[in-house]
Amino acid sequence: MDAQTVIDNYVNDVAALLARSQRNEVGFELRTLLTEELKAAADKVGRPPDEQLAIEVVQHFGQPDVVAAHYGPRGFALIEPEHAPTFVTLATIIVAAQWLITLPPVFRSTLTFWQWEQGPGLGAMSWVGLLLVWFAGASWVRRRFPVNAQTLARPPIHWLFWLPIPRAWRPVDHLANARRLAVGLIPLSTVALLFFSAPSWWLGLLLPTGTNTSWAAYDGSFHRWIFPPLLALMILRLLLLLTVVINVRLWARLEAIRVALWSCFVVLLIWVLFGWQIFANGITNALFKTWLAVFVFVNAIQLIVWMRRESLKVRAPAALRATRSN
Amino acid sequence: MYHVVHGDVYDMVKAREATPPKLDTELRRGALVLAVLSQLRTAQYGYSLRQALARQGMPIEEGTLYPLLRRLEDQGLLASEWRIEDGPPRRYYKLNAAGTRALADLTANWRALVSTLNGLLD
């Protein structure tokens, strides 16, 4: 193969990867330029251009796909870089959740692994495809209809493929927010504490005389073993909440104790939910446990959010802490 | 790769090789467009431009330069035309009005940057 044929083959391979409108223009120019490069290379080594030299020249120029990419229009991101972590997290959670829900039958041998894989196993990937379409749509909308740079106002079309965008940063007064929440919780907690200390008795007081309130009586074992520590925790939590009224700084300093009590409270409730009969009456017990499950779920999420916020706080680096302790 | 030499020359070789080459490339890459525009006040084709830059101490890989010329043309800074002189047809590039303004702006910015950096480095 002679040197010019090598150049022509290379140029054709590059041109084939270009847009139709560019092919002749860029291809023709490239052929001329590479021929001149080859001539210069041949003069440098002191021999006529040959196949080997031509191959070296074009290899030095670059792989055809890379060269074509440099000539082509700039690519675009399917998923905006700032959304990539959210995409990965959502995709992982959704796929993991589908697999967790659908795998047990495989372990109970009511479904073969092959059947699971062909069904919900690989089918979970369709969620990834759906998420990709959603995020890609959001990226296109943001490119085509950008957010107002000054006000950060979003055009209505952004709601077609909604994704969160950062707002102009404002400081959050966590102490003030927590104080407002605590002030609101104090009356609720007091009422709940009083009521749940003796629900049957309170209902007897509030309802018409003679109404049967035995359906609100606690189960004997629960009332003897679990109710006292639960009540103690509720009282302690209420007293700690009251410190926010007395002194919000004291309340902040007691945060570790508050959160520890809160965690114990949630753990105890989870144990009660799954391991104890709360009310002697079966229907009351089932209905109450449904409500309790929602209460526990909300509190567990709040605890996780609080723990995550704490873990993200900036602390002195390990090397600096070691220096200070020395 | 270290050469087996003695004393200061050995240390100089080692020190020079210690600078990551990528940093040097990044530094040059920032000045690439300005260097190319500066040579296109007169019409040049790709190969002659590359030779001109190399002669003046700014070697640029052909795989970088030739696509760059196309991009600058797409951005409206260069005008191009095919010419048939002695030899094969060549595509000549030259600054247009927008390119001339861009060169003037970039030159002013570059000079300010150099002055600032000189102050920082002193």
pLDDT by 10s per residue, chain A, length 326 = 889 999 999 999 999 988 888 888 899 999 999 999 999 999 999 989 999 999 999 999 989 988 888 887 767 788 888 889 989 999 999 999 999 988 888 888 888 899 899 999 999 999 999 999 999 998 888 888 887 777 777 788 888 887 777 666 777 787 788 788 888 888 988 998 998 898 888 888 888 888 888 888 899 999 999 999 999 998 988 888 888 777 777 777 788 888 888 899 999 999 999 899 999 999 999 999 999 999 999 998 888 888 888 888 888 788 877 777 66
Chain B CA closest to residue A25: B91
Among candidate residues A75, A90, A124, the one where a domain is terminated: A75
Sheet holding B44-45, edge to edge: B44-45, B90-95, B78-83
- Domain extent, residue A276, equals 174-311
Q: Which residues of chain A approach chain B closer than 8 Å at the C-beta?
A: 25-26, 28-30, 32-33, 35-37, 40, 60-62, 66-67, 70-71
Among candidate residues A161, A187, A216, the one where a domain is terminated: A161
Q: Are residues A305 and A204 in the same domain?
A: yes
Helix (H) or strand (E) holding A36: helix A20-45
> For chain A, what is the domain count?
3
Tell me, what's the pLDDT at A242?
84
Residues whose CB is less than 8 angstroms from the CB of residue B79 and which lie 6 or more positions away in sequence, other chains included: B73, B93, B94, B95, B96, B99
For residue B20, tell me if it sits in a domain. Answer: no
Q: Are residues A191 and A228 in the same domain?
A: yes
Q: Are residues A206 and A302 in the same domain?
A: yes
Question: Can you count the helices (H) and strands (E) in chain B?
Answer: 5, 3
For residue A166, tell me if it sits in a domain. Answer: no
pTM higher than the cut 0.80: no
- Domain extent, residue B63, equals 32-121
Q: How far apart are CA A213 and CA A199, in angstroms?
A: 9
Residue B6 pLDDT > 50: no
For residue B98, tell me if it sits in a domain. Answer: yes
For residue B90, tell me if it sits in a domain. Answer: yes
- 3-class secondary structure, A311: helix
For residue B43, tell me if it sits in a domain. Answer: yes
Average pLDDT value for chain B: 84
Q: How far apart are CA A324 and CA A222, in angstroms?
A: 51
- CB contact under 8 Å between B88 and A32, yes or no, is yes
Chain B CA closest to residue A36: B47
The angle, 0 to 180 degrees and rounded to 10, between the axes of the packed helices B21-38 and B62-74 is 50
Q: Are residues A155 and A194 in the same domain?
A: no
Give the minimum alpha-carbon distance from B31 to chain A in angstroms, rounded to a whole number. 18
Supply φ then ψ for residue B57, to 5 degrees.
90, 15
Show residues of chain B in contact with A4, CB under 8 Å. Answer: none
Tell me, what's the pLDDT at B4?
38
Residues whose CB is less than 8 angstroms from the CB of residue A98 and which lie 6 or more positions away in sequence, other chains included: A120, A123, A124, A127
CATH number of the domain bearing residue B113 = 1.10.10.10
For residue B23, tell me if it sits in a domain. Answer: no
> For chain B, what is the domain count?
1
Q: How far apart are CA A132 and CA A138, in angstroms?
A: 10
The percent of chain A in helix, strand and coil, each rounded to the nearest 5, is 75, 0, 25
For residue A254, count CB atoms less than 10 angstroms from its CB and return exposed for 0-12, middle for 13-18, buried for 19 or more.
middle
Show residues of chain A in contact with B67, CB under 8 Å. Answer: 67, 70-71
Residues whose CB is less than 8 angstroms from the CB of residue B93 and which lie 6 or more positions away in sequence, other chains included: B40, B43, B44, B45, B46, B49, B69, B72, B73, B78, B79, B80
Q: Are residues A141 and A29 in the same domain?
A: no
Choose from A26, A70, A74 for mutation: most chain B CBs within 10 A: A70
For residue B5, tell me if it sits in a domain. Answer: no
Would you give the DSSP letter of residue A121? I
Dihedral in degrees, nearest 10, Cα atoms A268, A270, A275, A278? 80
Residues whose CB is less than 8 angstroms from the CB of residue B45 and which lie 6 or more positions away in sequence, other chains included: A32, A33, B83, B90, B91, B92, B93
Which of A314, A97, A28 lies closest to B84, judged by CA? A28
Residue B2 pLDDT > 80: no
* Chain CA centroid to CA B100, Å: 17
Provide the token pair at A18. 């270009």
For residue B15, tell me if it sits in a domain. Answer: no
B91 forms bridges with which residues in the sheet? B82
Q: Are residues A298 and A207 in the same domain?
A: yes
Among candidate residues A140, A161, A182, the one where a domain is terminated: A161
- CB contact under 8 Å between A70 and B67, yes or no, is yes
Q: How far apart are CA B42 and CA B86, in angstroms?
A: 19
Tell me, what's the pLDDT at B73?
93
Q: Are residues A242 and A193 in the same domain?
A: yes
Quick one: CA dihedral A172, A176, A181, A182, positive or negative?
positive
Tell me, what's the pLDDT at B19?
66
